[in-house]
Chain A
Amino acid sequence: MDNNKNKTVKNFIIKVEEVSKTFHTKGRKPVVALKQVTLQVEEGEVLVIIGPSGSGKSTLLRTLNGLETVDAGHIWIDNVDITRKETNLNQIRQKVGMVFQQFNLFEHKTALANLTLPQTAVLKTSSGKAEATAMALLNKVGLEGMERSYPSQLSGGQQQRVAIARSLVMKPQIMLFDEVTSALDPEAVRGILELMESLAHQGMTMVVVTHEMGFARRAGDRIIFMDGGEILEEGTPQIFFDNPQHPRAQFFLSQVL
């Protein structure tokens, strides 16, 4: 009986169940960043999270690799509950790449060394092998000949390419993107979005927080709209963009489109 049931259950690589999170800052009112958020992501799916600033998008994303702890609820990554104390987060994080708005490249290391460090330190790859992998990935993201440059010598778009390559070097199953084009000029934005779309086409599971509605429509399999720490609406890009139901989603779209 159970076997039969399992066949119809989809393989969710990310499961978030009733996750809540409140930030307590000294001398300020507590901020409820997530209110009982529940969602699932299938393998190979591209989930796009949109919503106004302060709605909890980053917090949600950061709970997915344990950069942010949760107050209540559970999160499973590849069937491992990462909210349990016993879980080795460092192992989980190898499977979950993350790209940030501010790139966060290691400033004291060259583009190449940014890609070799996580391999030699975490995966214990030999430095020769790590370098070969790094060079191949740098070429793949369009940075041929830039391997000896330091982050400060690269443009924003180039830095973000290095950052994406640095995540990919760990061969993650999931990639998280937190407004990765928000600090870039329009030209660079296009390049990074293309890179992300090609990743999506290669079957990467992606959770993307973005204000790029064109990208969300083109590359997203599903859209989630958040406000006030809650998921207010969820649907395919077509349904969501053409016919938003929630008044706050309607208002948000009227502002950004």
Chain B
Amino acid sequence: MSETILITAPLLMKGLWLTIKISMWTVALGSFLGFVIGLIRASRMKILKAALGVYIHCLRGTPFLVQLYLIYFVLPATGVEWLKFEAFPAAVIALSLYTSTYVSEIVRAGIEAVPKGQVEAARALGMSKWQTLGHVILPQALKLMIPPMTGVYVLIIKGTSVVSVIGITELLRAGEQAALRYPSELMTLYGLVALLYFVYCYPVLRLGRWAETKFGRIENSL
């Protein structure tokens, strides 16, 4: 058994590394996009707000797999050069768009949870909208966002397993390949894969717990 582990370790480690890369890119891009969308959703820009509401609805109301197929198979078929994605960017884009819908709602909820009086006090002192956002709203809202945000990051890490369908050998796929080679060690190998996911997710979960006890929680809109 330990022999199998040793032999398949490089394959699994490569898979883990790919999972880490995809999830890190997704965390970065999805958070950035979600942050911007969340800011607009919490603002008074009516038309843009409504449009982004539709965006969120569409992405949440359809299966992630369909979105992934759309980006990887359908967009290149349009013939537009820059829409011909490799598997890796296609996976990151699909996951990031999906993630942004969750992040944006967390950002919005966080901002809206900051009492109105805080904004009024800042504006009454002559602070501009942006100064108020940067010095008063965000520092207070960010604390509230950390706990639900860690939940989303764990979802992303686990969600990366889905992108194996477009031929990316991330951790789960690597596990499958290893299991094909050593069918008798199926349990061990999948156990190992689960353990690796857990090792990756656990610190993030702990961070969320810690942040929740330290900063409190907002109504999670997931």
Contacts and interface: CB of A to CB of B under 8 A. Distances in A.
A250 interface: no
A121 B118 contact: no
A91 B128 CA distance: 10
B123 interface: yes
Given A117-B135, A121-B135, A106 B128 contact: no
A93 B117 contact: no
B118 A104 contact: yes
Contact of A104 (B117, B127, B131, B135): B117
A64 B131 CA distance: 22
Nearest to B125: A118
* Dominant secondary structure at the A interface: mixed
A154 to B, nearest CB: 15
B125 A166 contact: yes
A94 B126 contact: yes
A98 B121 CA distance: 8
A39 interface: no
B125 A100 contact: no
A67 B117 contact: no
A170 B121 contact: no
Interface of A: 65, 67, 90-91, 93-94, 96-98, 100, 102, 104-108, 117-118, 121-122, 163, 166-167, 170
A122 B121 contact: no
A109 to B, nearest CB: 8
Interface residues of B, number: 18
B136 interface: yes
A93 B125 CA distance: 6
6 shortest A-B CB distances, which residue pairs?
A104-B121, A104-B117, A93-B126, A118-B125, A94-B126, A98-B124
B128 to A, nearest CB: 6
Interface in B139-195: 139-140, 143
B120 interface: yes
B133 to A, nearest CB: 12
A106 B121 contact: yes
A90 B124 contact: no
A37 B4 CA distance: 86
B179 to A, nearest CB: 51
B120 A100 contact: yes
Contacts of B140: 107-108
B54 to A, nearest CB: 21
A100 B121 contact: yes
Contact of B123 (A67, A102, A108, A166): A67
Contacts of A104: 115, 117-118, 120-121
A118 B120 contact: no
Contacts of B136: 106
B123 A93 contact: yes
B117 A100 contact: yes
Contacts of B139: 108
